[in-house]
């Protein structure tokens, strides 16, 4: 029964994403673009979706309605319980596959640092297809929730990892 409720919850969330102005209102002109992306990356979908870190990142970004489906690298790192370097590596891979994009960069000295990443809202069909594939074949919603709350007890108790 819980699995059915989770599936219904996921379907409702995806419909809300598609209907909201923040995610997926561009089904007209980008439909061909989405099709081209899917044609190019569909053979790699198993590699994209089977990795627990990438699946968790996508899950967190989809769930972050209040920040327009974007998060800071530091927050992603903390929520997943992995280093920022690992998170950035997987964000770069997701960017190659046109699932996420850099939303904000900050200057640190002579270097530009990508500080906020979010879902690539120009490719909503592709993003949704990847997420559906993750949930259907690799990780259910419960597993994704567990993977993304590794440091939840620290946040709730007001403790830091330092």
The total of structural domains in the chain comes to: 1
Report whether 90 contacts 54 (CB < 8 A): yes
Q: Is residue 161 part of a domain?
A: no
Report residue 25 as tokens. 């209102």
Q: 92 lies in which domain range?
A: 2-153
Q: Is residue 125 part of a domain?
A: yes
> Between helices 84-96 and 73-80, what is the axis angle to 10°?
110
pLDDT in tens, the chain (162 residues): 455 555 455 555 565 555 555 454 433 344 444 556 666 666 777 888 889 999 999 999 999 888 889 999 999 999 999 999 999 999 999 999 889 999 887 666 676 666 788 999 888 888 988 999 899 889 999 999 999 987 655 445 444 444
Tokens 């089904």 correspond to 27
Q: Is residue 158 part of a domain?
A: no
Percent helix, strand and coil across the chain, each rounded to 5? 65, 15, 20
Phi, psi of 22 (to 5 degrees): -80, -25
**CATH label of the domain that carries residue 107:** 1.10.10.10
Q: Among 45, 52, 120, 50, which Cα is nearest to 87's?
A: 52
> How far does Cα 95 stand from its chain's mean position?
11
pTM (global) more than 0.75: no
């Amino acid at each position: 029964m819980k699995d059915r409720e989770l599936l219904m919850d996921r379907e409702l969330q995806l419909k809300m994403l598609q209907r909201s102005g923040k995610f997926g209102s561009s089904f007209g002109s980008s439909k061909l673009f989405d099709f081209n992306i899917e044609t190019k990356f569909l053979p790699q979908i198993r590699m994209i979706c089977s990795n627990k870190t990438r699946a968790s990142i996508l899950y967190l970004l989809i769930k972050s309605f209040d920040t327009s489906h974007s998060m800071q690298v530091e927050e992603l790192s903390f929520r997943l319980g992995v280093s920022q370097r690992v998170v950035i590596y997987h964000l770069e891979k997701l960017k190659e596959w046109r699932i996420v994009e850099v939303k904000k960069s900050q200057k640190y000295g002579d270097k530009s640092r990508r500080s906020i990443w979010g879902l690539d809202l120009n490719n909503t069909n592709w993003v949704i297809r990847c997420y559906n594939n993750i949930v259907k074949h690799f990780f259910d919603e419960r597993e994704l929730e567990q993977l993304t709350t590794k440091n939840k007890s620290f946040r709730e108790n007001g403790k830091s990892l330092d």
